[in-house]
Copies of this chain bind each other. A is one copy, B any other.
Amino acid sequence: MGKVVAFITMSLDGYVAGPSDRPEAGLGDGGERLHYWNFGGPWTYDQESFGSATGVDKDYLEALFSAAGAWLVGRTMHDLADGWGDEPGFGVPVFVVTHRQHETVVKGDTTFEFVTDGIDVALGKARAAAGAKDVLVMGGADLLRQYLDAGVVDELALTIAPVLLGGGKRLFDGIGRTDVVFERVAVLESPWATHLRYEVHV
């Protein structure tokens, strides 16, 4: 069985999205700065096409994606990302945890299955789909925190973007358990971010 890896980017002041996240600016005001690393440098919400991660950031993403056999995402994040457009490119099943039923969506090599039976059922489906590969929890913050609190996350892959957002959605607000031990297994530095990988011991 693979690992359950929680994978997310946070500002120095702890936000995974800036204030006023909305479909046309899914990461909120200033939140695009969180993900400069993901696109090889600065980008804006108005941009027609984006660059790609380069160097260390590219290696980091490729390592995570190639190890992933399934992804888990919350409905809000799915919707704010507009379902990752016409070519999501995950290449493996994505399970969307939601309270609202929705038919399965197939886009290219990616299947989005909407799970309304809670986080445990969603994880079970993701594990079954992933087989020996990893299940990646990509957020949003609420879903990631629920899985951390449930004690089922094996690794936290936390990218720290060197920006302050001053408001928005905090990753760890309302975290239930503070007894978790994080053991650092890797630190990767790029010009745009620092990627911290921790084994999670509960």
Residues of A within 8 A of B (CB): 12-14, 30, 158, 160, 162-166, 170-172, 175-178, 180-184, 187, 189, 191, 194, 196, 198
Contact = CB atoms under 8 A, between A and B. Distances in A.
12 contacts: A12-B182, A13-B171, A160-B160, A160-B196, A162-B196, A163-B178, A164-B178, A165-B178, A166-B172, A166-B178, A184-B194, A194-B196
B30 A172 contact: no
A13 B14 contact: yes
B172 A12 contact: yes
Nearest to A183: B162
Given A178-B30, A184-B189, A184-B194, A164 B160 contact: no
Q: Max chain B CB contacts within 10 Å: which of A14, A170, A176? A: A14
Q: Tell me the interface secondary structure of chain A in the complex.
A: loop
A191 B185 CA distance: 9
How many copies of the chain does the oligomer comprise? 2
Contacts of A198: 162
A128 to B, nearest CB: 30
A33 to B, nearest CB: 9
A60 to B, nearest CB: 14
A178 B11 CA distance: 11
Contacts of A30: 178
A187 B196 CA distance: 11
Contacts of A165: 178
A10 to B, nearest CB: 9
Nearest to A13: B172
A183 B190 CA distance: 11
A182 B166 contact: no
